[in-house]
Structure 1
């Protein structure tokens, strides 16, 4: 009888072990698959992040001894820091554009550079959406994802960037009235200076490999010396505009496509490629917490219009298409296919 009891106990232990290992292997496999994308190995501009009394690094190797939750939180924080630095580079370029656009000669030139700037800002708001929703999708793999903006205020800053174009819907510049353009430019300059300061103050927890933007400043100053006079000012503004567009497309390529994020047509948000059944098995929120995560809230109140989705998908394809052309690949964009899914 004793032998039978030991056998039963052994069998029961085996079943429990198998259940636990099966339950934990699925999310681990999801994360390992995500981290197998080439972009994670190239994400090397942040050394570590000091967050809530603990240092986090990027641990993407399958055999790493870092816990599953630690890997997710570290990856989210590191990606947030690199996004913040990307935004600081964009803000710097915007600063130069905002300084020289008002100096354009003639009403038409001031109007044109203002309208072009508004298109850049519209694209920046799309980039903020991609950044925010990518971070949310990654963080939501954690058993205790962030539940509000006080947990991770970078979400709040990205939310403000998402809403920027709406401020100018009723304030479009008038061709024959340069004062409307100048007022918009002045407002944008003050607004972005505030945003840049808030992001800098809020992310002092990030330790970067190189924490300066001197190379970009030198490059822009060299072009100012060549093209900032009255006759060539448009050349300089066109150069900065191209640099801004290239920077944003490059971010989408390297930190969206190359990291393995996707656009999910079901919830109309950026996501990681995880089958629904694995999400359910991995985290039953009704059992773990009655508090919705920020991503849950975002999905619940997602109000993207068809036009906004079209703009987002077009933007996601721009960087990929440009990269494919440079490598001699097909021009066919991949994300468009998801719209009809």
Structure 2
């Protein structure tokens, strides 16, 4: 009888320690999440009506305003991660549309010299702007997801397959494919083949993006070719019809768009980037941090 009471006491003590530790960790996560949602960028996300998760609709403003309690923490993290994924889906969809329009425009020229310039510049945009942007976005999603007690990213059967994660994670694979291409050629077909490879790669990625968007996101309606059409019209007003000048104009527009989106939908949401480890993290200090970081 005495030994049985000792066992019960040890069990209760062990349970109390585990419960206290879990409660402490939970409160730490709540504080960290609430501080993250104080960053102004969350209130400026306007391109998503709502997200769908387990047959329920979640509205961002309600998630921001509703106080976070222990029982709601897990669902709130899931919903915010999906919101972030939907937001990034809209950005990537715009970029894919621009890439497809660029390729169509370049191929129509059927010019060897300009074909080399066009293709090289498009590869430069992809490698120096689009791939790093996708890396930052995936880092933000994964960091937010890791606040959950059962992160999606750690599921063996579903590793890196939650909304938008596989899309963002695979974009960098284009660099390996392009590294095997030799562009300096007197044959225009070499450049056409490279453009076809880029189109095929991003078109496949876009299929996954559309699947995830349909499953989780209710976007505010918009024209997918809006940016391209806007830039073409703007160019016609301020420039003549020199093709290389248009290419420079287009590169600048894409760079400015990516810089603005990273600022609004990464840094202004409270995510920080460690250039040494190349990882995204969420600040845990008592005060909010407004980083002055240049996206390179």
Does residue 56 of the first structure (1) align with residue 58 of the second (2)?
yes
Which of the numbers 176, 200, 214 marks the counterpart of 1:166? Answer: 176
Asked if the contact 1:93/1:240 (under 8 Å) is kept, the reply is no
Q: Gapped runs of 5+ residues in structure 2?
A: 1-12, 286-292
In structure 2, what is the equivalent of residue 41 of structure 1? 43
What pairs with 1:105-124 in structure 2 (closer than 5 Å)? 106-122=111-127, 123-124=129-130
In structure 2, what is the equivalent of residue 219 of structure 1? 230
Asked if the contact 1:34/1:260 (under 8 Å) is kept, the reply is yes
Asked if the contact 1:104/1:233 (under 8 Å) is kept, the reply is no
C-alpha displacement of 1:176: 3.4
Q: 2:295 is paired with a residue of what secondary structure?
A: helix
In structure 2, what is the equivalent of residue 74 of structure 1? 79
In structure 1, what is the equivalent of residue 193 of structure 2? 183
Per-residue deviation, residues 251-289 of structure 1 (Å, max 9, x unmatched): 2111111111112367531121248xxxxxxxxxxxxxx
Q: 1:174 is paired with a residue of what secondary structure?
A: coil
C-alpha displacement of 1:39: 0.9
Asked if the contact 2:143/2:280 (under 8 Å) is kept, the reply is yes
What pairs with 1:1-341 in structure 2 (closer than 5 Å)? 22-58=24-60, 59-61=63-65, 63=67, 67-104=72-109, 106-122=111-127, 123-146=129-152, 147=155, 148-149=158-159, 152-204=162-214, 205-213=216-224, 215-220=226-231, 222=233, 231-264=241-274, 267-274=277-284, 317-318=294-295
C-alpha displacement of 1:226: 6.5
CA gap of 1:176–1:226, structure 2 versus 1, over 3 A, is: farther
In structure 1, what is the equivalent of residue 289 of structure 2? none
CA gap of 1:152–1:22, structure 2 versus 1, over 3 A, is: closer
Q: What is the rounded CA distance, in whole Å, between the counterparts of 2:278 and 2:98 in structure 1? A: 31
Q: 2:294 is paired with a residue of what secondary structure?
A: helix
Asked if the contact 1:57/1:75 (under 8 Å) is kept, the reply is no
C-alpha displacement of 1:209: 2.5
- Between the two structures, name the one with larger relative contact order (CA 8 Å, sep ≥ 6): 2
Q: What is the rounded CA distance, in whole Å, between the counterparts of 1:161 and 1:223 in structure 2? A: 29
- TM-score, structure 2 normalization: 0.78
CA gap of 1:153–1:78, structure 2 versus 1, over 3 A, is: closer
Deviates more, 1:263-272 or 1:166-175: 263-272
Q: What is the rounded CA distance, in whole Å, between the counterparts of 1:228 and 1:178 in structure 2? A: 27
Per-residue deviation, residues 300-323 of structure 1 (Å, max 9, x unmatched): xxxxxxxxxxxxxxxx6238xxxx
RMSD of aligned residue pairs (Cα, Å) = 3.0
C-alpha displacement of 1:180: 1.7
Q: 1:176 is paired with a residue of what secondary structure?
A: coil
Aligned residues: 265
C-alpha displacement of 1:171: 0.2
